[in-house]
Amino acid sequence: MRQTYYVIDNHLCCRCGACQKVCPHGALTTASPVPVIDQTLCRHCGMCFRACRLGAVTRPYELYQLKKGRRLL
């Protein structure tokens, strides 16, 4: 099973808040200078990723989960 995690690139973010406005789970906060994604609230829907016109919301890595009894080759 694959799960994508999103992060915000500080260098690309213009702090417009578009990502926070579209997040249906309230996973983004703008309390710090750059929006932060709370991974415990994020449901990986990709709304923030699609809303960012500058490409500041990125998928730096994907986490793969193995089902019990399976092997990674």
For residue 13, what are the CA distances in angstroms to 8, 29, 34, 52, 66? 7, 13, 7, 9, 34
48: domain range?
Answer: 2-64
- pLDDT of the chain, 73 residues: tens digit per residue: 456 788 898 889 999 999 999 999 999 998 778 789 998 999 989 999 999 999 999 887 655 555 666 665 5
If you ran DSSP here, which 8-state letter would residue 64 be given?
Answer: E
The whole-model pTM stands at: 0.73
Task: For residue 31, give the CATH number of its domain.
Answer: 3.30.70.20
3-class DSSP state of 4: strand
72 in a structural domain: no
8 in a structural domain: yes
24 in a structural domain: yes
